[in-house]
């Protein structure tokens, strides 16, 4: 039997979404009103927008929507902290107010109506419900290819991930409690949430193209997120450096034998190109190794500083609860 008192908090990260934020509020409000009317969630449920240091008037619009729409509330970061930190920030601030939590981006590429099926799956006993896209027809060939390669690589490295699932998901309160206990600074939530465990299922939907505004995940940020995922969950890059070093030594030994042979037969000039090749190869291997080790050391350094992952400048959710 459905517990009608469950409060749903929909966490919506937003960064420079001035063009589409109104439509996002409208669509998500329709979905939340439907859930309330169907008595699937409490009337105290909220849409929590997280303004991640937007440079446009996204925050000003959210203040207006908050005054006009009782379902809308928001928090405002002091600066841009990044998408993953915006999700964690929203879940942190919403934890004391909600029972069920859903994260979805403000660009409306993920189908808001899939939230209804997610909530129903929660009542069937699932603590985590992943929104999984049915296909990547809206993506370019390059993005489809690299995404498939990335999921395959992460699987080979032993990282638990749900293919074709991003950050559109439902999590129960006990899952969020465990999630917030992860204190690392370089977050990769697509890998952390499956690592937590608990019963989970998938809800499939058709992903749409972005209607307005620009993507907040260009190639540079996608590569950065993928690199965070690899280095946060696997020691494979370090092991790769070890095998690269062994391979370099093997090649060097072969070149040594070759050089000695050339010396015995009195033809040493021809070895100049081989020597230069060896120097460049070993030097490059060392630089790659130093860069990879430096990346891991840098992550350790960032974590030891224990600096906050986000700073909330304004909190309409807390103000609303204080006035209640």
Sign of CA dihedral 266, 270, 274, 279: positive
The per-residue pLDDT for 28 is 95
pTM higher than 0.85 for the full model?
A: no
What pLDDT shows up at residue 151? 63
pLDDT of residue 289: 73
Mean pLDDT of residues grouped by 10 in the chain (324 residues)?
Answer: 74 91 93 93 94 90 93 92 89 93 91 93 93 71 63 65 81 93 78 85 82 55 59 61 67 66 61 62 70 68 70 82 55
The pLDDT score that the predictor gives to residue 64 is 93
Structure tokens at 269: 């000039």
The pLDDT value given to residue 1: 41
pLDDT of residue 137: 61
Give the strand pairing for 200-205 and 72-77: unpaired
Residue 25, pLDDT score: 94
The predicted structure's pLDDT at residue 224: 61
152-166 tens-digit pLDDT:
666 666 667 777 777
CA distances from 273 to 226, 252, 276 (A): 38, 14, 5
- The reported pLDDT for the residue numbered 182 is 84
pLDDT digits (tens, 9 = 90+) for 257-313: 666 666 666 655 555 556 666 676 676 677 677 767 766 676 666 666 677 787 888
Per-residue model confidence (pLDDT) at position 145: 64
Do 150 and 226 touch, CB atoms closer than 8 A? Answer: yes
Contact (Cβ atoms closer than 8 angstroms) between residue 97 and residue 7: yes
CB 15 within 8 A of CB 216: yes
For every residue of 46-101, DSSP letters joined together read EEEEEE-S-SSSHHHHHHHHHHH-TTEEEEEESS---HHHHHHHHHHHHTTT-SEE
Contact 15, 53 (CB under 8 A): yes
């Amino acid at each position: 039997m459905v517990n009608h008192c469950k409060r749903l908090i929909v966490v919506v990260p937003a960064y420079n979404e001035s063009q589409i934020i109104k439509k996002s509020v409208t669509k998500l409000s329709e979905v939340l009103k439907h859930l309330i009317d169907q008595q699937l969630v409490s009337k105290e449920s909220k849409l929590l927008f997280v303004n991640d240091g937007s440079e446009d008037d996204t925050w000003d619009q959210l203040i207006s929507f908050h005054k006009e729409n009782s379902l809308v509330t928001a928090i405002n970061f002091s600066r841009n902290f990044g998408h993953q930190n915006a999700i964690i920030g929203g879940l942190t601030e919403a934890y004391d107010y909600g029972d069920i939590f859903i994260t979805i981006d403000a660009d409306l590429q993920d189908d808001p109506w899939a939230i209804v099926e997610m909530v129903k799956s929660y009542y069937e006993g699932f603590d985590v419900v992943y929104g999984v896209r049915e296909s990547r027809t809206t993506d370019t060939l390059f993005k489809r290819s690299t995404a498939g390669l990335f999921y395959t690589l992460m699987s080979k490295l032993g990282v638990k991930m749900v293919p074709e699932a991003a950050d559109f998901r439902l999590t129960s309160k006990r899952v969020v409690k465990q999630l917030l206990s992860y204190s690392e600074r370089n977050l990769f939530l697509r890998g952390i949430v499956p690592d937590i465990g608990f019963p989970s299922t998938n809800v499939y939907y058709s992903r749409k193209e972005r209607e307005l505004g620009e993507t907040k995940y260009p190639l540079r940020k996608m590569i950065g997120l993928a690199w965070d995922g690899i280095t946060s969950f696997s020691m494979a890059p370090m092991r790769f450096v070890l095998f690269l070093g062994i391979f370099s030594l093997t090649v060097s030994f072969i070149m040594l034998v070759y050089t000695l042979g050339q010396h015995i037969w009195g033809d040493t000039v021809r070895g100049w190109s081989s020597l230069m090749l060896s120097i460049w190869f070993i030097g490059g291997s060392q630089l790659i190794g130093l860069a990879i080790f430096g990346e891991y050391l840098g992550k350790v350094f960032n974590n030891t500083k224990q600096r906050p992952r986000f700073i909330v400048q304004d909190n309409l959710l807390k103000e609303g609860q204080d006035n209640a």
